[in-house]
Structure 1
Amino acid sequence: MVDPRHQKLAKVLVHYSLKLQPGDKLAIKSKDIAAPLVREVYREAIRAGAYVTTFIGLEGLQEIELQESNDEQLEYVSDFNVFVTDYFDATLTIWAEENTRAMSTIDPKRIAKKRKAQATLTKRSLERMANGTERWCGTLYPTQAHAQDARMPLSAYEDFVYGAGLLDLEDPIAAWRKIHAEQQRIADFLAQHDEIHIVTPNTDITYRVGGRKWINCAGTENFPDGEVFSGPIEDSVNGTVRFSYPAIYDGNEVEDVYLTFEHGKVVESSASRGLDFLNAMLDTDAGSRTLGEVAFGLNYSIQQFSGDTLFDEKIGGTMHMALGASLPESGGVNESGLHWDMVCDLRQGKVYADGQLCYEDGKFII
Structure 2
Amino acid sequence: MTGTDLLQRFADLVVRVGVNVQPDQGVVVRADTAHLETARAVVQQAYAAGAGWVDVDWTDGPIRRSRLLHATPAELTRTRPWTLERIRSWTAEGVCFITLAGEADPHLLDDVDPAKVAARPVEELRAMQQAMIEEQLRWTVVAAPNPGWARQVFGEPDTDRLWAAVATAMRLDEPDPVTRWRDRHAELAARARALDALELTEVRYHGSGTDLTVGLLPETRWTGGGEEDPSGLFYLPNIPTEEVFTSPDRRRADGRIRLTRPVVIGGRLVEGLVVTFAGGRITEATAVRGADVVRAQLDTDEGARSLGEVALVDRDSRIAKAGVVFHNTLFDENAGCHVAWGFSFPFAVAGGLAKSDDERYELGLNRSTVHTDVVIGGEGLTVTGTGPSGSVDLLRDDEWVLPV
| 1:193-234 alpha-carbon deviations (Å, 9 max, x no partner) | 221111112111111223232221357111122212211111
Partner of 2:84: 82
Among 135, 142, 145, the residue aligned to 2:145? 142
Partner of 1:336: 368
Partner of 1:325: 343
Partner amino acid, structure 2, of 1:196: V
Asked whether the 8 Å contact 1:255–1:271 carries over to 2, the reply is yes
C-alpha deviation, 1:91, in angstroms:
0.5
Partner amino acid, structure 2, of 1:101: H
Partner of 2:331: 311
1:215 aligns with 2:217: no
Secondary structure in structure 2 of the residue aligned to 1:302:
helix
TM-score relative to the length of structure 2 = 0.84
C-alpha deviation, 1:121, in angstroms:
2.4
Asked whether the 8 Å contact 1:22–1:49 carries over to 2, the reply is yes
Give the distance between the partners of 1:86 and 1:330, measured in 2 at CA.
24
Secondary structure in structure 1 of the residue aligned to 2:305:
coil
Partner amino acid, structure 2, of 1:70: T
Partner of 1:125: 128
1:302 aligns with 2:281: no
- Residues 76 and 282 (structure 1 numbering): CA distance in 2 closer, same or farther, change over 3 Å? same
Secondary structure in structure 2 of the residue aligned to 1:213:
coil
Partner of 1:107: 113
1:362 aligns with 2:398: yes
Among 68, 71, 89, the residue aligned to 2:73? 71
C-alpha deviation, 1:142, in angstroms:
0.8
Secondary structure in structure 1 of the residue aligned to 2:239:
coil
- Residues 277 and 132 (structure 1 numbering): CA distance in 2 closer, same or farther, change over 3 Å? closer
Among 187, 190, 194, the residue aligned to 2:192? 187
| 1:113-151 alpha-carbon deviations (Å, 9 max, x no partner) | x22xx2322222222223322111111111111111112
Among 352, 355, 358, the residue aligned to 2:384? 352
Partner amino acid, structure 1, of 2:117: I
Give the distance between the partners of 2:4 and 2:28, measured in 1 at CA.
23
Give the distance between the partners of 2:151 and 2:45, measured in 1 at CA.
30
Asked whether the 8 Å contact 1:31–1:57 carries over to 2, the reply is yes
Partner of 1:22: 23
Give the distance between the partners of 1:221 and 1:44, measured in 2 at CA.
18
Give the distance between the partners of 1:91 and 1:281, measured in 2 at CA.
25
Partner of 1:258: 274
Query: What is the correspondence of 1:224-243 to structure 2 with a 5 Å cutoff?
Result: 224-243=240-259
Partner amino acid, structure 2, of 1:271: A
Partner of 1:48: 49
C-alpha deviation, 1:48, in angstroms:
2.3
Secondary structure in structure 1 of the residue aligned to 2:107:
coil
Give the distance between the partners of 1:125 and 1:213, measured in 2 at CA.
23
Partner of 1:8: 9
> What is the alpha-carbon root mean square deviation over aligned residues?
2.0
Secondary structure in structure 1 of the residue aligned to 2:98:
strand
Partner amino acid, structure 2, of 1:66: L
Asked whether the 8 Å contact 2:258–2:274 carries over to 1, the reply is yes
Of the structure 1 ranges 1-10 and 198-207, higher mean CA displacement relative to structure 2 is found in 1-10
C-alpha deviation, 1:81, in angstroms:
1.4
Asked whether the 8 Å contact 2:189–2:224 carries over to 1, the reply is yes
Of the structure 1 ranges 35-44 and 282-291, higher mean CA displacement relative to structure 2 is found in 35-44
Give the distance between the partners of 1:2 and 1:154, measured in 2 at CA.
9
TM-score relative to the length of structure 1 = 0.92
C-alpha deviation, 1:2, in angstroms:
8.0
Partner of 1:169: 174
Asked whether the 8 Å contact 2:117–2:293 carries over to 1, the reply is no
Secondary structure in structure 2 of the residue aligned to 1:198:
strand
